[in-house]
Amino acid sequence: MPQLFSRMDDANWLTPAIAEILDQGAAPPNSPTREQTRVLQQELNSLGTPARIINVRLTPSHTLFVARPESGGVLGGRKAITPQDIRRSMARIAEQHKDWTLGFLNDVQEAEGTVGILLRTDQHQPVSLRRMLVRPTFRDNPSHLALALGLTLEEQMVIRDLGIVGHLLVVGADNPKRHFVRSLLLTLVLFNTPAELRLALLGAGCQAYNALVGLPHMLGRLLTSPEDGQRLLDGLAKEAQRRQQYFTERGADNLDTYNARLKEQGSTPLPRIALLIDSLSEETWHANRERWLPTLTLLLTNGAQVGIHLLLTHETGQLPEGLSMPTRVVMRAAANEVIDKLKDFPRPNLRFVDAFVMEGEQATPVELCIVSETETNRTVEYWRQTAAKRKQEAAPTAPEVSAQTGVTGVFRSESDAMRYIAAQQNKPADTGSYVQRGAALAAYLGWLGVGPLQDVLSLTEADARAVIGSLQAAGVLEAGDGAVLRFIRLADNPLQGGG
């Protein structure tokens, strides 16, 4: 389950404590709820629709008054008050209190026979990510891939497990979408170590999350062009096929089962991979859809089973034919069609809604949280320092390698790597050396794994692992004590133009 305190994984990575990373955010205001409760009850009674307020739920953005309708009318002619009666009275109360922003719920979960009255606070403040993650509903979720998709108007958490839903589509544009996507990415990297989860960012819209490129979770650099994106998608499709083959060989039908068997044998588990594409509606991506659509369709069909999950964004939600995304989060500004299909949803309630969580045709209105740049930077800095400390404390030892491999040092280009190796071995650079060629391949891709070495250099799995081990021992690639035998990021990626 998600841990609010630090958690150590099997590879000895330590997750951060939430309190050290996320701000508490705005607290529910000390609003005059007692007086508002009295006024609401008094005016409902005067309108012939009496109701008793039995509970008050405060949030930074609004107050929910849970009311139970009572009988109305004179003695001998009393009648039961319905939610529709209360709703009509609330419209009249709104006219009398122009300074109030009111909403209405026909029923409130966990309180049978009640209605909800929404009242926006004087100083409307959005909910922080921390306030969502510390709720018992989220803390008690058993999965490290649990995502907080929002709060309902009844203050109920909407949580979905990425490992179960597989993939997620975010519909909308501009700040609401960016805040929401940032909260998803931050949640994943707060509760999952680099040995458990790898992250890839694809598309021009991902520049809004450029700060995350410094995470040790990253698979290489941020890619913006469809051409670079196609290469990454092709690589992920091959990785999915390889994982399916490994599963078949070990009699596993999903990543968790496969990794459990690897642990039993003392082998390194595979990490999950989360790929964000922001956005499919971008003009250059739309123009090249015939190239990437088949690969993306394949990953949507088979990826989740082997631990490859897609987070896609689109401005309108009109996906290319053939793409199916059952679980979607639609920002309010892009939800006109959703709103038109909602039955018995009071339009004034839209003032309390940021988005709709869609599963098939079912829509759940929610309020979203916000994430600040400061919180993002704290997260990246924590993981950077943790990775640097692990590298400093590590005592590198070269593993056994095949006769044709050597050991390289950190390089900034393919030629630099080969010259360095040649100098260490006191002989001319040999472009045929598997390690040298593996170094050149890593420089080109921005990552390296068993799969590419098998595909490009025709190595056996044992020799491919030996090459990776040699590069890790020299510091060219990340230390391999985590689940990084595939898709390993360069310690110093020459394609990122660092100093």
| DSSP string computed for 164-223 | HH--EEEE--HHHHHHHHHHHHHHHHHHS-TTTEEEEEESGGGGGGGGGGGSTTB-SS-B
Structure tokens at 328: 């979607």
The model's pLDDT over 347-365, given as tens digits with 9 standing for 90+, comes to 889 999 999 999 988 999 9
Structure tokens at 322: 């053939």
Residue 443, CA atoms < 13 Å, CB-side half-sphere: 19
Structure tokens at 356: 């709709």
Q: How far is CA 249 from CA 118, 203, 242, 269, 326, in A?
A: 56, 35, 11, 15, 31
pTM: 0.78
What is the CATH number that goes with domain 33-120?
3.30.980.40
Domain ranges of the chain: 33-120, 126-381, 395-496
**CB atoms < 10 A from the CB of 280, how many?**
23
Q: How far is CA 323 from CA 204, 299, 311, 312, 352, in A?
A: 21, 10, 13, 11, 31
Question: pLDDT tens track of the chain, all 499 residues?
Answer: 565 678 999 889 999 999 999 998 877 766 667 888 999 999 999 999 999 999 998 888 889 999 999 876 555 556 889 999 999 999 999 999 998 999 999 999 878 899 999 998 877 788 999 999 999 999 999 999 999 999 999 989 999 999 999 999 999 988 889 999 999 999 999 999 999 999 999 999 999 999 999 999 999 889 998 889 999 999 999 999 999 999 999 899 999 999 999 999 888 899 999 999 998 988 888 888 888 999 999 999 999 999 999 999 999 988 888 888 999 999 999 998 888 888 778 888 999 999 999 998 899 999 999 999 999 999 999 999 999 998 887 644 433 433 333 333 334 444 554 555 455 545 454 445 778 778 777 766 667 777 778 777 777 877 888 888 888 777 677 665 443 333 444 444 434 433 3
How far out from the chain centre does Cα 19 lie?
19
3-state secondary structure of 497: coil
Residues 366, 183: Cα–Cα separation, whole Å? 15
What is the CATH number that goes with domain 126-381?
3.40.50.300
Residues 493, 479: Cα–Cα separation, whole Å? 15
Q: Which of 79, 78, 70 is nearest to 44 (CA)?
A: 70
